[in-house]
C-alpha cells in the first residue's frame, strides 16, 4: 500500500442538503402542530363561550341581554327581550295604563302578560277569541319574583316561558341556550303531522300552547284528538267534536254531542263527560263551575262535587266594579264563592263549605250617577266584601264573618291623584273605611287567605260617635 497516496487522498464531502431538508421538515411539522394546537385551543374557547339561539339562529343581541347567576338561574330584561320574541312592551298594566316603571306588560296579537316589581305573579289576559271555559285570564306563579337592575325589570327563564309562550333550555355543560317560540314550533311540526295522516294542527291560540308540553291538538275527519308532538303517539283519540287545552292545569276540556268533560294528557278521565258547561274557577284549587239542566254547582279536577248543582247562579258580574281591579268573578277576597238561590246570595269557601247563609239581595254597592264616587265590591287591604240587604250595607271578611253589620247607607270608592280611598256613610256621617277599621282594631289582611279577623264585629253602636269626614 502507498502510504503517501493514502495521506493525500481527499475525504468525500458530507451530504448537507439532506440534513437541511430534515431540519426544515421538522420545523414544518412543529409549526403545523403549533397551528393545530392554536386552532384546537381557539375552537375550545369558542365552544366554551355562551351561545344563544332563538328559533335555531344564533343571536348575540339576546345573549348580551342575559344575566346568568352561579346557580344557573338566568335573568332576562322583560321589555328589552320582547321584540325578539314577537311582542310589544310597555310600562304600567294592560288594564290600568300608566307610566309606572315598577310594572310592565308585554303584548302580542292574542294576549297580554303583566309583571310587577317584587311579585312572583304573572297575570295574563287573552285578547282574541273566547275560551270555552269562559275564563279569559290566567295567573301563573314563579319561584323568583320580578327584580330591577339599572332601572329595568327582570324575570327568570321561568317567567319568560310563561309570559312569552316559549321553550327555554340552558345546557350548562355545553354552555348553550336554545329558545323556541310557540309559532316556530307549530310550523316545524306541521309537515310531520300531515305525513302522519292528520288534516291539520288545530288552529287555536290556547291549543297551540300544548306544543310547549310536547303535545298537539290535531284534526282528522272533522274530529279532534291529541298526539305527542315529537313521536306522533296518540294520546287522545281524534273522535271529539271539540278539544281545548287548559294551560293552567295541563288538561284538556273535551266536547262530544253537546256534553263536556275533562281528560288528562294520557287520556284518563278527570271530569266525566256529563255536563252542559264547565268553567275553570280557580287554577290553584283546580275547581270548576259546572252547569247541567240550567242548575249550577262546583266540581274539582277529579270530578268530585264540591257544591251540588242546586243553585240559580254562581259568580257575579264584576264588570260593574272595574275600578276594583277584580280578575275573578267566582272567587272573591281570595276565598269566597258567591252563590244565588231564590233571589238571595250566600257564600261558600273554596273547599265547598257554606260559610254564609242566603241572606243578601246584593253583593257590592253600585253608585247612583256621580262624578266622583265609584262602585265598590271589595276592600283589598282587608279582604272585605261589601254585601247588602234592603238597601242597607255591611262588610264581611273572607271567612264569611260579619265585620260591619248591615247598617250602612252606602260604601263606595273615590279615586284622586291615582290613589284609591274607600268611604261609607252611616246616619249621614261619611267615614274613611280603612281609617275606621284601623281604629276598631281590624287587622290588615292583604294577600292572606283563610285568616279570621279575630271575630271583630262592628255594630251600629260602634258606628255612632266615631270620627266622621264631612
Q: What percent of the chain has pLDDT over 90?
A: 73
pLDDT at 367 over 70: yes
pLDDT at 375 over 90: yes
pLDDT at 133: 53
The cell for 436 is 275606621
Specify the range with the lowest mean pLDDT, choosing from 33-42, 217-226, 285-294, 413-422: 33-42
DSSP letters along 164-190, please? Answer: HTEEEEEETTTTEEEEEEHHHHHHHHH
Cβ neighbours, 10 Å, residue 7: 7
Determine the Cα–Cα distance for residues 239 and 20; give it in Å rounded to an integer. Answer: 83
149-168 tens-digit pLDDT: 999 999 999 999 999 999 99
Confidence of residue 248 (pLDDT cuts 50, 70, 90): confident
Query: Are the C-beta atoms of residues 204 and 129 closer than 8 Å to each other?
Result: yes
Confidence of residue 187 (pLDDT cuts 50, 70, 90): very high
Specify the range with the lowest mean pLDDT, choosing from 43-57, 74-88, 126-140: 126-140
Which of helix, strand or coil describes residue 198? Answer: coil
Let me know if 58 is exposed, middle or buried by CB neighbors in 10 A (0-12, 13-18, 19+).
exposed
Determine the Cα–Cα distance for residues 174 and 53; give it in Å rounded to an integer. Answer: 13
Determine the Cα–Cα distance for residues 126 and 129; give it in Å rounded to an integer. Answer: 8
Determine the Cα–Cα distance for residues 26 and 19; give it in Å rounded to an integer. Answer: 11
pLDDT at 311: 98
Confidence of residue 30 (pLDDT cuts 50, 70, 90): confident
> What element of type H or E holds 437?
helix 433-439
pLDDT at 31: 87
Determine the Cα–Cα distance for residues 285 and 213; give it in Å rounded to an integer. Answer: 21
Average pLDDT, the chain: 89
314-328 tens-digit pLDDT: 999 998 998 888 888
Alpha carbon distance, N-terminus to C-terminus of the chain? 146
- Average pLDDT over every residue of 249-272: 96
Which of helix, strand or coil describes residue 60? Answer: helix
pLDDT at 469: 36
Determine the Cα–Cα distance for residues 197 and 189; give it in Å rounded to an integer. Answer: 13
- Average pLDDT over every residue of 365-379: 90
Determine the Cα–Cα distance for residues 445 and 453; give it in Å rounded to an integer. Answer: 8
Determine the Cα–Cα distance for residues 102 and 369; give it in Å rounded to an integer. Answer: 34
Determine the Cα–Cα distance for residues 134 and 115; give it in Å rounded to an integer. Answer: 23
- Average pLDDT over every residue of 119-134: 79
Q: Which CB contacts under 8 angstroms, 24+ apart, belong to 326-329?
A: 326/377, 326/378, 327/123, 327/137, 327/139, 328/137, 328/281, 328/282
- Average pLDDT over every residue of 212-238: 97
- Average pLDDT over every residue of 30-47: 74
Let me know if 319 is exposed, middle or buried by CB neighbors in 10 A (0-12, 13-18, 19+).
exposed
Confidence of residue 175 (pLDDT cuts 50, 70, 90): very high
Q: Higher confidence at residue 129 or residue 286? A: 286
pLDDT at 70: 92
The contacts of residue 108 (CB under 8 Å, 6+ apart) are 86, 87, 88
> What element of type H or E holds 154?
strand 152-156
Let me know if 295 is exposed, middle or buried by CB neighbors in 10 A (0-12, 13-18, 19+).
middle
Which of helix, strand or coil describes residue 210? Answer: helix
Amino acid at each position: 500500500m502507498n502510504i503517501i497516496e493514502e495521506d493525500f487522498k481527499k475525504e468525500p464531502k458530507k451530504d448537507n442538503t439532506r440534513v437541511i431538508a430534515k431540519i426544515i421538515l421538522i420545523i414544518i411539522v412543529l409549526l403545523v402542530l403549533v397551528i393545530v394546537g392554536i386552532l384546537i385551543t381557539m375552537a375550545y374557547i369558542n365552544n366554551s363561550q355562551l351561545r344563544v339561539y332563538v328559533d335555531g339562529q344564533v343571536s348575540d343581541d339576546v345573549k348580551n341581554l342575559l344575566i346568568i347567576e352561579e346557580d344557573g338561574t338566568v335573568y332576562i330584561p322583560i321589555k328589552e327581550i320582547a321584540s325578539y320574541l314577537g311582542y310589544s312592551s310597555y310600562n304600567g298594566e294592560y288594564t290600568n295604563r300608566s307610566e309606572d316603571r315598577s310594572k310592565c306588560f308585554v303584548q302580542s296579537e292574542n294576549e297580554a302578560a303583566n309583571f310587577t316589581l317584587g311579585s312572583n305573579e304573572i297575570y295574563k289576559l287573552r285578547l282574541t277569541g273566547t275560551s270555552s271555559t269562559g275564563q279569559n285570564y290566567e295567573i301563573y306563579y314563579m319561584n323568583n319574583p320580578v327584580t330591577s337592575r339599572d332601572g329595568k325589570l327582570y324575570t327568570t327563564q321561568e317567567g319568560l316561558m310563561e309570559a312569552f309562550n316559549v321553550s327555554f333550555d340552558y345546557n350548562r355543560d355545553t354552555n348553550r341556550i336554545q329558545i323556541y317560540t310557540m309559532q316556530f314550533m307549530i310550523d316545524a311540526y306541521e309537515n310531520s303531522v300531515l305525513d302522519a295522516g292528520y288534516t291539520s294542527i288545530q288552529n287555536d291560540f290556547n291549543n297551540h300552547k300544548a306544543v310547549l308540553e310536547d303535545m298537539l291538538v290535531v284534526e282528522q275527519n272533522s274530529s279532534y284528538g291529541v298526539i305527542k308532538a315529537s313521536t306522533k303517539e296518540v294520546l287522545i283519540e281524534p273522535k271529539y267534536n271539540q278539544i281545548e287545552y287548559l294551560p293552567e292545569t295541563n288538561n284538556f276540556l273535551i266536547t262530544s254531542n253537546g256534553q263536556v268533560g275533562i281528560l288528562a294528557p294520557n287520556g284518563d278521565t278527570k271530569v266525566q263527560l256529563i255536563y252542559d258547561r264547565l268553567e275553570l274557577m280557580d287554577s290553584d284549587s283546580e275547581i270548576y263551575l259546572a252547569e247541567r239542566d240550567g242548575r249550577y254547582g262546583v266540581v274539582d279536577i277529579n270530578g268530585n262535587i264540591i257544591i251540588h248543582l242546586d243553585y240559580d247562579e254562581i259568580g257575579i258580574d264584576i264588570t260593574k266594579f272595574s275600578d276594583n281591579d277584580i280578575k275573578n268573578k267566582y272567587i272573591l277576597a281570595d276565598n269566597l264563592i258567591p252563590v244565588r238561590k231564590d233571589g238571595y246570595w250566600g257564600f261558600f269557601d273554596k273547599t265547598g263549605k257554606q260559610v254564609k247563609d242566603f241572606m243578601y239581595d246584593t253583593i257590592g254597592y253600585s253608585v247612583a250617577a256621580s262624578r266622583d264616587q265609584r262602585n265598590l265590591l271589595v276592600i283589598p287591604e282587608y279582604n272585605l266584601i261589601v254585601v247588602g240587604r234592603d238597601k242597607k250595607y255591611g262588610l264581611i271578611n273572607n271567612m264569611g264573618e260579619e265585620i260591619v253589620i248591615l247598617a250602612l247607607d252606602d260604601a263606595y270608592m273615590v279615586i284622586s291623584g291615582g290613589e284609591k280611598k274607600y268611604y261609607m256613610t252611616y246616619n249621614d256621617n261619611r267615614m274613611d273605611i280603612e281609617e275606621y277599621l284601623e281604629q276598631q282594631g281590624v287587622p290588615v289582611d292583604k294577600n292572606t287567605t283563610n285568616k279570621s279577623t279575630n271575630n271583630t264585629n262592628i255594630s251600629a253602636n260602634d258606628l255612632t260617635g266615631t270620627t266622621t269626614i264631612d
